[in-house]
């Protein structure tokens, strides 16, 4: 009989002070098993025996054992007892082989956190762009999502930098920025927001190092593992990564005309304790869809009722080509108390600045600021100062007017080309491809018939020299395999037309191949049927 | 009898696909309780009953119940049964009151994640600098930890910016940087590291947005909640925040002469499954201590044996004033496979750049890069390009030579002043204050006699017009209350002398006050004793 008191060393160590008893017991077993001191098949004391031995409540032992079972360290069999489980962990095997062996190397696979494993799994879903006959420089890619350099206002940035240097303001540029953000940029962003109806006081606003960081900070502040986030389906890939890496449960609500399906949205709030709603009301990534005013108001009303904060990600709202601007949710009645509004100029202006902002209720922003201090203390000053000057001079307004015309023209070129080259292509009576017509933003969202796969299409497309983003990446679970996302802002009209032409050819080849496959399969079925009859 | 099937709705929903059964059961109960559908004192079915009803294994129900107990949602009493617990959560109370109430506002306190609560608790330990008779501009603060602007190479940065602009390279500055870092800066950092004996190939290096982010990324990649980190005691405040915010267990090892106490270090590795060792081998924050070569080698040897990665934070190694440089741990035998080396120029050069680097084993760096993509995609380009140019011109070397002399002189001024004003002050036979003499870095670490408190001293100090950092901030748990951290790089020699003079006066007043307090207490004891005799 093992000496359990010796193995478990029940005297509380200083570092465990305040830790619940069942945690301490669980940890002692965990350490002993992982360090190889309790080999596989070792029989553990029963709940009652251990409780008596350690002089703790039986439920304390039960909890400890239950967690050890969950962690795959022990097994419990009714009538037989509880046993140490075979440890397949390479760490333990490796450790047991290498104990006292000074030769180097760590089995990293065994060391990665669950967050890292999750992120790796998600990113491995991105299709690998395999080698193609087409040379890289001739490949036309609609898979992007950021503006190309052609419209970066470099001359203006250069002039701003020169002027700052001449005015002896280089010092400012290399100092720590206040954690909340450079005052000059804060003031400019407050002005920019005011034009949209969002009034941000100093304690409601925070400059962040880009949209990614904004989402991270909101998650850090509100989400524990297992908490539920409600989001649109499909949604922004990197937001999904962020939520899943921290083991939040993603509850998706399908998009319909005008926004999220409100019946399903309300049901989600009723059935679960939702900690956060994530939405992109303008020119959503990946669909380009926008949320109607009605839907915005309904969501705010329901979230108020059920006490759920909303992260409104307005990453590209400025790139509107037609139709009416709608107020941000934060500016609507009831919005101020529970909406965190995120914005950035990365898509409309220049991604290299890595700047964005969060505007939200003061008590929440206070905590988000703390999270930012722990994360990177503050955001680069140079970029903030340059951007502030740029905004102050009214240069952004001019820039927007210019790029809106250009991007609109490119959007129209893509739609025109789709109509011209693909509009007449059908398969079994259904169009080979249908597509959205967004009022702004960066993307068209296109759809193959049911049962067809954009990943399969991609292989044909690469052979033709065109690429796009496969739709299933934007779905949290299964789904979306028949969709593609096409970015229309990165090439000029001529190249867009050529790219769509190649896509049309790829579609033809894809559908031809499917036809052949089905014919063969039918043929095979007929033959087998014939065999059955003959036999 | 409640209809449990109706309450639990056991049919698996699509979002739960792949989730373990016990998680699904736990979540259904969690939702039902938090949404007020199962009021306090509702009796739950026994393990056996529920297992039979749901047709699952009894251990599955046990696990679910155990987690619900842990979450404070249910209570289990031997012989009596399992009951829903009274929910004191403001969220639930608030929710129950406000269900269907459209009036606004969220109870944010109830919504913050455990990470946010932890960070907030840690940061609330920072002393509030209360109002003092001394005007702000006359306050001398030794509480800092970053270089002041007086030595920022602004003229040189200005010239670099001008030249970049004239050469038409502003475009580069506003593009997305490759996620790994700007190639020019990567090359310069590789050169810088090579001089220290660290050879970093392209797949071993990553540019990060400052040391904070470096620590965050390593934690994201390696640590799950409950994992153990071994670190020095005392250690870097923001590192402690980072570990605790993600619920890692901090196992501290006291510093002794030459490094960590190796016996205690080894015991930690033996007794626990340690996921990470965090160390600052050069001019540690807060003590200024450096780790001997022997200690560095021993740690590597033990970590190799026990398969534990090391994060070596070399945040200020360049600021050496005397003595010999020691090789980074990554450069020592066995170091390359398991040491992640972090560096930055923030302290030696200029904090506003917000730039640092991580160098580590390729398989680990690959995962850290993924974590960075999810976090902020990439680090600001302008700062990287300016820094790369600065390094390439050899300007850093000149800068270092200059500031080393100046900072050494300031260190000596502080030590001289301590000796002059405090060296002769004693209390009950012990020196009122003792202090370290670091070979480099930013900080002196000073110590009051046992039983005395730097927080109490701080109040006297503020009255005299001097501040410092209180030592207990740098300890994970209780401890350190008799220490103070003094930064010597931020003021010139004259101001440092004046500041120490004020500190000496504060010490006198503090010890005088203690003497009076003890006399009164003694007097009181004598009186009470006398009363007892008389009665």
Residues in chain A within 8 Å Cβ distance of B275: 111
Q: Do B252 and A363 touch (CB under 8 A)?
A: no
Chain B, nearest residue to A333 by Cα: B104
Percent pLDDT > 70 in chain B is 90
* Residue A361 confidence class, pLDDT cut points 50, 70, 90: very high
Determine the pLDDT at residue A256: 94
**Beta strand pairing call for A74-77 and B430-431:** unpaired
Determine the pLDDT at residue B310: 97
Choose the closest CB to B158 out of A95, A165, A242.
A165
| For residues A29-34, average pLDDT | 79
Name the most confidently modeled range: B31-45, B103-117, B385-399. B385-399
- ipTM (interface pTM): 0.71
pLDDT higher for B24 or B170?
B24
DSSP secondary structure letters along B257-282:
TTEE-HHHHHHHHHHS-EEEEEE--S
Residue B67 touches chain A, beta carbons under 8 Å? yes
Q: Find the range with the poorest average confidence among A224-228, A339-343, A488-492, A523-527.
A: A523-527
Q: Is the pLDDT of residue B525 over 80?
A: no
Q: Is the pLDDT of residue B231 over 60?
A: yes
Average model confidence (pLDDT) across chain A: 86
Residue B242 touches chain A, beta carbons under 8 Å? yes
Q: Do A112 and B367 touch (CB under 8 A)?
A: yes
Q: Is the pLDDT of residue B111 over 60?
A: yes
Q: Find the range with the poorest average confidence among A79-83, A526-530, B14-18, B277-281.
A: B14-18
| For residues B68-84, average pLDDT | 82
* Residue B120 confidence class, pLDDT cut points 50, 70, 90: confident
How far is Cα B213 from Cα B374, in angstroms, rounded to an integer? 13
Choose the closest CB to B120 out of A155, A162, A367.
A367
Residue A105 touches chain B, beta carbons under 8 Å? yes
Q: Is the pLDDT of residue B279 over 60?
A: yes
How far is Cα A343 from Cα A300, in angstroms, rounded to an integer? 19
| For residues B418-424, average pLDDT | 95
Q: Is A275 helix (H, G, I), strand (E, B) or coil?
A: strand
Determine the pLDDT at residue B32: 80
Choose the closest CB to A175 out of B173, B221, B352.
B352
Determine the pLDDT at residue A255: 96
Residue B98 touches chain A, beta carbons under 8 Å? yes
Q: Is the pLDDT of residue B103 over 50?
A: no
Q: Do B116 and A367 touch (CB under 8 A)?
A: yes
| For residues B39-49, average pLDDT | 87
Q: Is the pLDDT of residue B96 over 50?
A: no
Residue A117 touches chain B, beta carbons under 8 Å? no
Stretch 442-461 of chain B: residues touching chain A, C-beta under 8 Å: none
Choose the closest CB to A111 out of B222, B270, B379.
B222
Residue B48 touches chain A, beta carbons under 8 Å? no
Chain B, nearest residue to A368 by Cα: B116
* Residue A105 confidence class, pLDDT cut points 50, 70, 90: low
Helix axes A362-376, A211-222, angle to 10 degrees: 110
Q: Is the pLDDT of residue B500 over 60?
A: yes
| For residues A199-224, average pLDDT | 91
Q: Do A116 and B221 touch (CB under 8 A)?
A: yes
Long-range contacts of A292-297 (CB under 8 A, 24+ apart): A292/A258, A292/A259, A292/A326, A293/A326, A293/A327, A294/A258, A294/A259, A295/A258, A295/A259, A295/A260, A295/A262, A296/A259, A296/A326, A296/A327, A296/A329, A296/A332, A297/A332, A297/A333
Average model confidence (pLDDT) across chain B: 86
Residues in chain B within 8 Å Cβ distance of A107: 307
Lookup: tokens for B437: 């003499």
Q: How far B480 CA lies from chain A's nearest CA (Å)?
A: 15
Determine the pLDDT at residue B224: 84
Confirm if B126 and B67 have CB atoms less than 8 A apart: no
| For residues A25-43, average pLDDT | 80
* Residue B86 confidence class, pLDDT cut points 50, 70, 90: confident
How far is Cα A499 from Cα A140, in angstroms, rounded to an integer? 6
Q: Is the pLDDT of residue B78 over 90?
A: no
Q: How far A105 CA lies from chain B's nearest CA (Å)?
A: 5
Residue A275 touches chain B, beta carbons under 8 Å? yes
Chain A, nearest residue to B164 by Cα: A158
pLDDT higher for A77 or A223?
A223
Name the most confidently modeled range: A100-104, A246-250, B401-405. B401-405
Chain A, nearest residue to B9 by Cα: A271
Q: Do B352 and A382 touch (CB under 8 A)?
A: yes
Stretch 279-318 of chain A: residues touching chain B, C-beta under 8 Å: 301, 304-309
Q: Do B14 and A225 touch (CB under 8 A)?
A: no
> Number of CB pairs < 8 Å for A and B?
327
Residues in chain A within 8 Å Cβ distance of B371: 115-116, 119
Q: Do A108 and B337 touch (CB under 8 A)?
A: no
Determine the pLDDT at residue A31: 74
Q: Do A477 and B101 touch (CB under 8 A)?
A: no
Q: Is the pLDDT of residue B55 over 80?
A: yes
Q: Is the pLDDT of residue B278 over 60?
A: yes
Confirm if B271 and B236 have CB atoms less than 8 A apart: no
Q: Is the pLDDT of residue B104 over 80?
A: no
Confirm if B61 and B74 have CB atoms less than 8 A apart: no
Q: Find the range with the poorest average confidence among A198-207, A306-315, A373-382, B394-403.
A: A373-382
pLDDT higher for A187 or A3?
A187
Residues in chain B within 8 Å Cβ distance of A371: 115-116, 119
| For residues B303-319, average pLDDT | 95
Q: Is the pLDDT of residue B381 over 90?
A: no
Determine the pLDDT at residue B92: 43
| For residues A365-386, average pLDDT | 79
Backbone angles phi, psi at B486, to 5 degrees: -120, 120
Choose the closest CB to B374 out of A109, A242, A275.
A242
Determine the pLDDT at residue B533: 63
How far is Cα B418 from Cα B288, in angstroms, rounded to an integer? 17
Candidates A44, A79, A333, A374: best to mutate against B (most CBs of B within 10 A) is A374
**Beta strand pairing call for B259-260 and B430-431:** unpaired
Chain B, nearest residue to A355 by Cα: B380
Q: Do B361 and A108 touch (CB under 8 A)?
A: yes
Determine the pLDDT at residue B229: 97
Going by C-alpha positions, the residue among A326, A468, A524, A106 that lies closest to residue B361 is: A106
Over the stretch A6-15, which tens digit does the pLDDT of each residue have? 777 776 554 4
Q: Is A206 helix (H, G, I), strand (E, B) or coil?
A: strand
Determine the pLDDT at residue B90: 44
Residue B361 touches chain A, beta carbons under 8 Å? yes
Stretch 177-236 of chain B: residues touching chain A, C-beta under 8 Å: 177, 209-210, 212-213, 216, 220-227
Determine the pLDDT at residue A159: 87
Determine the pLDDT at residue A379: 64
Q: Is the pLDDT of residue B308 over 90?
A: yes
Determine the pLDDT at residue B91: 43
Residue B373 touches chain A, beta carbons under 8 Å? yes
Q: Is the pLDDT of residue B203 over 80?
A: yes
Determine the pLDDT at residue B42: 87
Q: Do A367 and B221 touch (CB under 8 A)?
A: no
**Burial of residue B3 (number of CB atoms within 10 Å: 0-12, 13-18, 19+):** exposed
Percent pLDDT > 70 in chain A is 89
DSSP secondary structure letters along A470-523:
EGGGGSSSS--TTEEEEE-SSS-HHHHHHHHHHHHHHHHHHHHHHHHHHHHHHH
Q: Do A165 and B152 touch (CB under 8 A)?
A: no
pTM given for the model? 0.76
Q: Do B170 and A149 touch (CB under 8 A)?
A: no
pLDDT higher for B238 or B532?
B238
Q: Do A78 and B95 touch (CB under 8 A)?
A: no
Residue A124 touches chain B, beta carbons under 8 Å? no
Residue B61 touches chain A, beta carbons under 8 Å? no
Q: Do B63 and A66 touch (CB under 8 A)?
A: yes
Chain B, nearest residue to A310 by Cα: B106
Q: Is the pLDDT of residue B108 over 70?
A: yes
Choose the closest CB to B66 out of A66, A225, A305.
A66
Determine the pLDDT at residue A96: 43
Determine the pLDDT at residue B171: 66
Cis peptide upstream of residue A296 (ω within 30 degrees of 0): no
Q: Is B220 helix (H, G, I), strand (E, B) or coil?
A: helix
| For residues B476-496, average pLDDT | 94
Chain A, nearest residue to B165 by Cα: A158
Q: Do A162 and B158 touch (CB under 8 A)?
A: no
Candidates A273, A334, A360, A490: best to mutate against B (most CBs of B within 10 A) is A273
Determine the pLDDT at residue A56: 87
Confirm if B232 and B285 have CB atoms less than 8 A apart: no
pLDDT higher for A115 or B13?
A115
């Amino acid at each position: 009989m093992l000496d359990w008191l010796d193995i478990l060393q029940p005297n509380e160590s200083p570092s465990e002070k305040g830790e619940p008893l069942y945690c301490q017991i669980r940890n002692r077993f965990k350490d002993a098993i992982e360090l190889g001191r309790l080999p596989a098949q070792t029989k553990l004391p029963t709940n009652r025996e251990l409780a008596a031995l350690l002089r703790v409540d039986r439920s304390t032992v039960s909890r400890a054992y239950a967690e050890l079972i969950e962690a795959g360290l022990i097994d419990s069999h009714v009538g037989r007892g509880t046993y140490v489980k075979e440890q397949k962990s390479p760490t333990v095997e490796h450790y047991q082989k290498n104990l006292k062996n000074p030769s180097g190397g760590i089995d990293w696979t065994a060391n990665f956190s669950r967050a890292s494993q999750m992120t790796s799994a998600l990113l491995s879903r991105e299709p690998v762009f395999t080698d193609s006959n087409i040379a890289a420089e001739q490949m036309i890619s609609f898979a992007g999502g950021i503006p190309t350099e052609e419209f970066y206002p470099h001359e203006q940035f250069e002039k701003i930098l020169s002027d700052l240097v001449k005015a002896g303001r280089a010092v400012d540029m290399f100092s720590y920025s206040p954690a909340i953000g450079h005052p000059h940029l804060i003031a400019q962003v407050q002005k920019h927001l005011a034009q949209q109806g969002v009034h941000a006081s100093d304690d409601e606003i925070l400059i962040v190092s880009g949209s990614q960081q904004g989402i991270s900070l909101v998650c850090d502040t509100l989400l524990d593992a297992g908490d539920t986030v409600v989001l649109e389906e499909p949604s922004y890939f990197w937001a999904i990564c962020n939520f899943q890496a921290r083991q939040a449960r993603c509850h998706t609500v399908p998009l319909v005309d005008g926004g999220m399906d409100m019946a399903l949205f309300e049901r989600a709030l009723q059935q679960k304790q939702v900690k956060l709603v994530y939405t992109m009301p303008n020119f959503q990534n990946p669909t380009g869809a926008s949320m109607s005013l009605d839907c915005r108001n309904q969501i705010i009303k329901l979230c108020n009722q059920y006490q759920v904060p909303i992260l409104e990600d307005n990453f590209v709202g400025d790139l509107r080509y037609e139709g009416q601007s709608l107020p941000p949710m934060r500016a609507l009645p009831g919005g101020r108390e529970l909406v965190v509004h995120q914005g950035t100029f990365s898509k409309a202006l220049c991604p290299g600045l890595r700047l964005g902002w969060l505007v939200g209720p003061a008590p929440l922003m206070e905590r988000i600021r703390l999270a930012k201090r722990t994360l990177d203390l503050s955001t680069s000053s140079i970029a903030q100062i340059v951007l502030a000057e740029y905004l102050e001079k009214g240069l952004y307004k001019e820039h927007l007017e210019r790029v809106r015309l250009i991007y609109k023209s490119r959007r129209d070129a893509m739609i025109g080309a789709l109509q011209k080259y693909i509009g007449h292509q059908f398969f079994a009576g259904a169009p080979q491809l249908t597509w959205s017509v967004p009022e702004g933003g960066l993307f068209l969202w296109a759809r193959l018939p049911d049962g067809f796969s954009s990943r399969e299409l991609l292989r044909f497309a690469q052979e033709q020299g065109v690429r796009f983003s496969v739709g299933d990446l934007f779905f949290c679970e299964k789904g979306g395999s028949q969709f593609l996302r096409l970015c229309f802002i990165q090439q000029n009209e001529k190249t867009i037309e050529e790219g769509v032409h190649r896509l049309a050819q790829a579609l033809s080849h894809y559908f031809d191949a499917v036809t052949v496959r089905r014919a063969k399969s039918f043929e095979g079925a007929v033959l087998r049927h014939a065999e059955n009859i003959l036999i």
